[in-house]
Amino acid sequence: MNLADHTTIGLGGPARRFVRAGTEAGLIEAVRAADERAEPVLLLGGGSNLVVADEGFDGTVIQVATRGIDREEPGLLTVAAGEEWDAVVAATIAAGLSGLECLSGIPGLAGATPIQNVGAYGQEVADTITAVRVYDRRAGTVAVMTADQCGFGYRTSVFKHDPAHRFVVLGVTFRLAAQARSTPVRYAELAAALGVSPGEQADSTEVRSAVIELRQRKGMVIDPADPDTRSAGSFFLNPVIGPATLAHVEDVARARYGPDTAVPRYPAGGDQVKLPAAWLIDRAGFTKGYSQGDGARISTKHTLALVNSGAATTAALLALAREIRDGVQATFGVTLAPEPTLVSVAL
């Protein structure tokens, strides 16, 4: 079973063992059985955030295929880990609930969303998650973790940075607003597309449509007819930096591009700011479509996405990622970190 067939980027070698878990009990049992064999475990959802080694994964790959949405009360719903994320978003909007509309068009499954605190266009799942139901591999029990216990941060959580992968997400509980209007639109690009000012609300259905259109322009909505969508989404995180690093970036930008050059940034708490990784990549000389001719390239639509043109290998993709990372570091003194989960490989 080649994992390339189960990832949106279409890369990755075989798994030693492959199990499809269609029920919560089956998922727990598959994990428990692998643990008893002392075999490494890789949980597979939609494969939209995975970059797997060409050699594959020497362990058990468990495909999460659980289903179910439990509406406990108006605005409160618990979603099984195996539910398709975009279908969940669409269903909440159709039910007159808001809070997830800006997360439309994101591939993958619901169980993956708390792991990296999925976010886009000014929303994060941490804004609405109240609890995550997990299987605790160390204790061998099922537990419910509160949002505080999940340790959410920018594209991170306690789940993402646990090398032992102690917790297996079984379900996620969201608290949404019972209203047809969106939450305040925070992202300037989305606000402009909707014709509203940042901080204003809009119809949630219109927000969903606008988000999907923006994502399609950037090749961030899976489309078999569009080779730019053969990716793992955004490959690099937007770096969060302090005043000294920002001053250095501004000095470099002005020296290279003129004294009036403005460095885009967003508040990130305290005196820190978040820089758009795409801006840094482009200004460091890595433009849309850039390639070394080995089948791996930057998307022609968005410099944050690294694409498998159809003939790439994971090794070639990571070589391109390293070249970009090192080029940005050499130009601006900022080190970019990968956003996807790297399986049996390192950047």
Query: Which residues are CB-neighbours of 344 under 8 A, at least 6 positions away?
Result: 52, 53, 55, 56, 57, 58
**Which among 98, 104, 234, 299 is annotated as catalytic?**
234
CA distance 128 to 309: 36
- 325 in active site: no
pLDDT of res. 326 = 98
Q: How many residues does the chain have?
A: 347
Q: Report the predicted TM-score, pTM, of the whole model to 2 decimal places.
A: 0.92
- Active-site residue (options: 20, 32, 71, 155): 155
Q: How far apart are alpha carbons 138 and 148 in whole angstroms? A: 20
Full set of structural domains in the chain with CATH: 3-64 (3.30.43.10), 69-217 (3.30.465.10), 227-343 (3.90.78.10)
For 281-299, how does the pLDDT look when each residue is reduced to its tens digit (9 = 90+)? 999 999 999 998 899 999 9
CA dist 311 and 302 (Å) reads: 20
DSSP assignment letter at 202 = -
SS3 of 330, please? helix
Q: Which amino acid is at 305?
A: A
- Three-state SS at 164: coil
323 in active site: no
Question: What is the average pLDDT across 171-193?
Answer: 96
Task: Please give the structure tokens belonging to residue 79.
Answer: 């979603």
The SS3 assignment for 103 reads helix
CB 29 within 8 A of CB 60: no
Which strands form 240-241's sheet, in the order they lie side by side?
240-241, 273-274, 266-267
Annotated active-site residue in 182, 265, 339, 344: 339
pLDDT of 161: 85
The mean predicted confidence, pLDDT, of the chain is 96
- 235: three-class secondary structure by DSSP: coil
Q: Is the pLDDT of residue 164 over 90?
A: no
Looking at residue 1, what is its pLDDT? 79
Q: Could you tell me the pLDDT band of residue 163, with boundaries at 50, 70 and 90?
A: confident
Structure tokens at 189: 């690009």
Position 168 scores a pLDDT of 98
User: CA 245 to CA 212: how far, in whole Å?
Assistant: 34
When pLDDT is averaged across residues 273-280 and rounded to a whole number, the result is 97
Count CB atoms within 10 A of the CB of residue 21: 22
Q: Which amino acid belongs to residue 31?
A: V
pLDDT in tens, 288-335: 999 988 999 999 999 999 999 999 999 999 999 999 999 999 999 999
36 noted as active-site residue: no
> How far apart are the C-alpha atoms of 183 and 186, rounded to whole Å?
9
Give the model's pLDDT for residue 142. 98
